Amino acid sequence: MSQQVRIMRGREWARPVRPVRREVLEAIPGLDEGRPPLLFVPGFGHGAWAFAEHWLGHAAERGFSGYALSLRGQAGSGPAPEATLRAYAHDVVQVAAGLSRRAVLVGHGAGALVVAHALARYPARAAVMVAPVFGGWATAFTALRRNPLGTLPALVGGRLQCNRAQLFGRELPRDEVRRHLSRLGRPARRAQWQLLLGREPEPAVGDPPVLVLGSPEDRVVPHSVLIRAARRYGSAPLLFPGMSHDLMLDARWREPIDGILDWLEKEPSGG
Amino acid sequence: MTTSTDHGRPDPELSTLDLARGARSVSYRGETVCVIGAGPTGLTAIKNLTEHGFGVDCYERETGVGGVWNWRHDRSPVYASTHLISSRPLTQFPDFPMPDDWPDYPHHSQLLTYLERYADHFDLRRHVWFGTEVVRVEPAEGDRWDVTTRSTGGYGPERTSRYAAVVVANGHNWSPKLPTHEGLAEFRGEVMHASAYQDPAQLRGRRVLVVGAGNTGCDIATEAAQQAAHCWHSTRRGYWYAPKYLLGRPADQLNDLMLALRVPRRLRQWLFHRLLQASVGDLTRFGLPRPDHRMLETHPIVNSQLVYYLGHGRVTPVPEVVRFHPDSVELADGRQVDPELVVFATGYLPRFEFLDPKILGDDGTTGRPVLWLNAFVPNHPTLAVAGLVQPDSGIFPLSHWQSVLFARLLRLRETRPNKAAAFAATVTTRAGERYSGPVKESSRHWFEVGHADYLRALQRALHDLEAK
Ligand SMILES: Cc1cc2nc3c(=O)[nH]c(=O)nc-3n(C[C@H](O)[C@H](O)[C@H](O)COP(=O)(O)OP(=O)(O)OC[C@H]3O[C@@H](n4cnc5c(N)ncnc54)[C@H](O)[C@@H]3O)c2cc1C
Ligand SMILES: NC(=O)c1ccc[n+]([C@@H]2O[C@H](COP(=O)([O-])OP(=O)(O)OC[C@H]3O[C@@H](n4cnc5c(N)ncnc54)[C@H](OP(=O)(O)O)[C@@H]3O)[C@@H](O)[C@H]2O)c1
């Protein structure tokens, strides 16, 4: 991460991101106990639905309002073939700033990179990086090794396509896997390139606590990458061995979300 | 008067031991920082100071947040039709954007909504004492400040508290600058300053003379063009009237596009002149004087409608007023006009009535503080004035970064005192610097800044402060 605060944003002032319809799914607890809202940001190909499946409802049961956003061009959000990471981060900050209290940003997969960029533009209460894909060549090589057919086209300008073995564990029932796979979309081409070659996120504003979690058996994010990701936030990752990349859809989805909520309740600035 | 439309009160129990200042008792507020005013600048100061770990007490004389943008406030100068002149991306706080489906130039009521949401989102109201005005700010030992407050309107006793630092964010658009004219007292028509103008109903069916061509004067003249029986618009020089849109985008975004492409100022001026020449043409054909300066050398006027109403003959441009007669107003060209209502849209003067002017480096005659970055006070490292800038953009981002810089400076006073001392030395040597190209000499221009020049200087100051 570059360390200096950036004040001048001439290009952004001159060429603001155009608004696109945003899909936001939510689950609100019956009683407001003053806890910070959670904003879930899916990775490339996924949509808000991935969190609506289990995590949103579970967070609400534990007293946290949960919101899940579909990035532009994904799931129920408006089309955006030319979307960039900047536009994705813009969408996250727009939704976060629209909530009644400072939000906790939770990014999954490449959504964690979007969150890292958003953190430079919004003083989140806290941030959680779930199986973070911060991009770069190491991630690309892993993807290439595990899923050459889905990854190769992306390296020559086509669209990235994840496969079943990368995302889901073996315990997940077949029909559930089929349902999820049918909902997977394809990321915008420019954003995909930025995943490989994009600039480093700027330092986070407001100094939020950051939790990194994932599984050592993740087939998208190798263990070493996970450790490195946690190190940039000065900590070690919280590990859920034996789980797949899509922790929120895994048969054992409850463990990581409980891990996140427990951490938030313990954080002095959190619950 | 402690009634409040805003809930929340700061915790008054922080004060520990009592001190004395003369006969008064002073409650000691430890490392807490005092913020004066809960307008946009005060709010961002509270937010950034608390974000950096400081306790904050903010005093606000009105009963709500929002400053100028809260039209319920008795000193708010906004009128019913006020829309921003700076477009949304150049106006919003850098870390809390306005909704992206809002218009390019939101209405003042949207600005208030935005500021209230900002206050709620960051839970700022619990730091604010509403209905409380600051009447005195005096230096105390150890670079601390004694701040004396009382209920707005002078009810109740005064209270003095000692703070580790003070941010003055009292705004500069509330104290009317009124011209003096021979015969004004005998004039039989109605005379008002634009700060008292709220609604076009005040103009309806009357003969109106509007004096001054800042954004206020131009807005009121266009309303008079639609409502009044007749509208004269008096200006003492020719101006560039920039439309809200140029080349398919908000005019300030076009300016920033050129800034991002590093187009030099002279070339930008030339391009703007050509663009205006090509689109609206030579305004002297409507009887306006030719501008006596280049574009960007007076505070920008952003108004697409004035020229339109000149073309409809609904606004009659006239020169400067020289004197008033009981039934008419005499103009510089010898003409006399007979308005029923004269609106002085002659602007405002910054005022710091609670501070000895010498503290801000004003010898008491000019009314112009001498500060670095328009904010930092020589020899008073724990005092900052925020929002004392008139940019060619929105003010909020400038106020935001001023308070970030001040918060980090206060932190460094504890952790790296030598860095803070070096900053203080810079403040002393560089006080009075300007951050714009040449501007016309006028009482409104001494704190005019180009937002890019200003923010770049601020960014450098921040980087120097934090350098190893
Ligand atoms: C008609 C109009 C249109 C404008 N349009 C734009 C625009 O398009 N874009 C833009 O960026 N700016 C615009 N401005 C400038 C405007 O002043 C700023 O946007 C902004 O309001 C400045 O915020 P502030 O907090 O510094 O001052 P203010 O908004 O004036 O707030 C100061 C606060 O301090 C309080 N206060 C003052 N003295 C004391 C005291 N002694 N004790 C306690 N409290 C005190 C006041 O009650 C007030 O709430 C406009 C101004 C006017 C008049
Ligand atoms: N729509 C909006 O968003 C909006 C609307 C209104 C105001 N504002 C902002 O609010 C601030 C104040 O604006 P403002 O228009 O009220 O004031 P202003 O910018 O100070 O303009 C005052 C005008 O009156 C003239 N003037 C001053 N004293 C005079 C005198 N004695 N005799 C004759 N003319 C005199 C000035 O002429 P000189 O050129 O000689 O100085 C100038 O044209 C500005 O920052 C402005 O941008 C924004």
Superfamily of domain B19-175+349-466: FAD/NAD(P)-binding domain (3.50.50.60)
Cβ neighbours of residue A175 under 8 Å, at least 6 residues apart? none
Q: Which residue in B has a C-alpha nearest to residue A125's C-alpha?
A: B122
Given a cut of 60, whether residue B11 has pLDDT beyond it is no
Q: Please judge whether B254 and A12 are an interchain contact, meaning their C-beta atoms are less than 8 angstroms apart.
A: no
Q: B210 to chain A, minimum CA–CA distance in Å?
A: 34
Domain range enclosing A175: 10-266
Question: What is the reported pLDDT for A166?
Answer: 86
A3 inside domain: no
Flag whether pLDDT at B7 surpasses 70.
no
How close does chain B come to A98, measured CA to CA in Å?
7
- Confidence at B17, pLDDT banded by 50, 70, 90: low
In chain A the beta strands, taken as DSSP E runs, fall at 23-27, 38-41, 66-70, 104-108, 126-130, 210-214, 238-239
Give the pairing of strands B329-331 and B321-324: antiparallel
> CA of A58: how far to CAs of A40, A179, A248, B385, B422, in Å?
13, 21, 11, 48, 53
Tens digits of pLDDT across chain A (271 residues)? 457 889 999 989 999 999 999 999 999 999 999 999 999 999 999 999 999 999 999 999 999 999 999 999 999 999 998 999 999 999 999 999 999 999 999 999 999 999 999 999 999 999 999 999 998 887 888 888 888 888 888 777 777 778 888 899 889 999 999 999 999 998 888 888 888 888 889 999 999 999 999 999 999 999 999 999 999 999 999 999 999 999 999 999 999 999 999 999 998 764 4
B100: nearest CB among A7, A12, A94: A94
**Residues B82, B218, B308, B316: is their CA dihedral positive or negative?**
positive
Going along B194-304, which residue ranges are E strands? Answer: 207-211, 230-234, 241-242, 245-246, 249-250, 301-302
> pLDDT per residue over B136-171, tens digit each?
999 999 999 999 999 998 888 999 999 999 999 999
**Which tens digits make up the pLDDT trace of B225-250?**
999 999 999 999 999 999 999 999 99
Cβ contact B452:B90 at 8 Å: no
Both tokens of B284, joined, read 């002297």
* B282-290 average pLDDT score: 96
Tell me which ligand sits closest to the C-alpha of residue B319.
2
Q: What was the pLDDT predicted at A196?
A: 83
Question: With pLDDT > 90 as the criterion, what percentage of chain B qualifies?
Answer: 91
- Check: complex ipTM more than 0.90: yes
- Domain with residue A253: its CATH number is 3.40.50.1820
| Pairing state between β B336-337 and B132-140 | unpaired
Distance from residue B33's CA to the centre of ligand 2 (Å): 33
Residue B333, helix vs strand vs coil: coil
For B354-389, write each residue's pLDDT tens digit: 999 999 999 877 889 999 999 999 999 999 999 999
B184-344: CATH number: 3.50.50.60
Pairwise CB contact (< 8 Å): B100 & A12 = no
Total number of domains in chain A: 1
Q: What is the DSSP letter of B182?
A: B
Average pLDDT over residues B327-334: 98
Give the angle subtended at the CA of A97 by the CAs of A93 and A98, to the nearest 5°: 120
Every domain of chain B and the residues it spans: 19-175+349-466, 184-344
Alpha carbon distance A268, A210 (integer Å): 13
B394-407 confidence digits (pLDDT tens): 999 999 999 999 99
Please report which helix (H) or strand (E) contains residue B41, including its range: helix B40-51
- Determine the atom of ligand 2 nearest the C-alpha atom of B347: 17
> What integer pLDDT is reported at residue B18 of this predicted model?
62
- pLDDT for position B249: 96
Residue recorded with tokens 């910054």: B350
Mean pLDDT of chain B: 94
Q: Which of B99, B259, B458 minimises the CB distance to A10?
A: B259
Q: Is residue A30 part of a domain?
A: yes
